[in-house]
Amino acid sequence: MILEGASKYDLIEQYSKLTLSDIVQANYASIGALTRSQGKEQVRKVMAVLVSDLNTSFGGDMSKDEIIEAVYEIQNGISSNLSLEDLFLICSQLKRSHTYKLKVPIILKAVEQHLEERTQLIMQNNYNAHLSTKHNEDRKSMQNVVNDNAFNAFQSQYFNEQHKK
């Protein structure tokens, strides 16, 4: 939807309830992947629209060059692992923050913090998945032990009955 050129109101309507968990679970394409499939300029334009909208919310503190600088920093750094939906969420959170003057370092700091939170959430999800798999494996091995014990008890009883005959 973001790449199709939807208006900012369409984006707000579609993504206003978006959370970090939703983004991670949906596994949206990263900015790096979109750059490879759609081209650098197309992705930069979309990112610039998101950052420009953020800038407008702060009264237009940033110049066009600063907006482009922020876009280049995000697209070409480690932040390219984020999705456009991540960037939308970051911009939404900045709009609600106690920030009074928007500048490139504030945006980059918010992106860095978001990336850290995203990484922590993914690591926690992976750890939880590992534990649930491990728990299921332990449960299966315990079931095998219980089945083996039941079989051994039955076998022992059967041989004792056969021996008595």
Q: What does pLDDT average to in each consecutive run of 10 residues of the chain (165 residues)?
A: 59 79 92 93 92 92 94 88 93 90 95 94 89 66 58 67 65
CA angle 105, 111, 113 (to 5 degrees): 100
Per-residue model confidence (pLDDT) at position 78:
77
Per-residue model confidence (pLDDT) at position 18:
86
The H or E element that residue 79 is part of is none
pTM of the model: 0.73
Count of domains forming the chain: 1
Residue 103 domain-assigned? Answer: yes
Residue 1 domain-assigned? Answer: no
Q: How far apart are CA 119 and CA 10, in angstroms?
A: 28
Residue 47 domain-assigned? Answer: yes
Q: Which domain holds residue 21?
A: 8-164
Residue 53 domain-assigned? Answer: yes
Residue 13 domain-assigned? Answer: yes
Assigned token pair, 88 = 């939308």
Residue 77 domain-assigned? Answer: yes
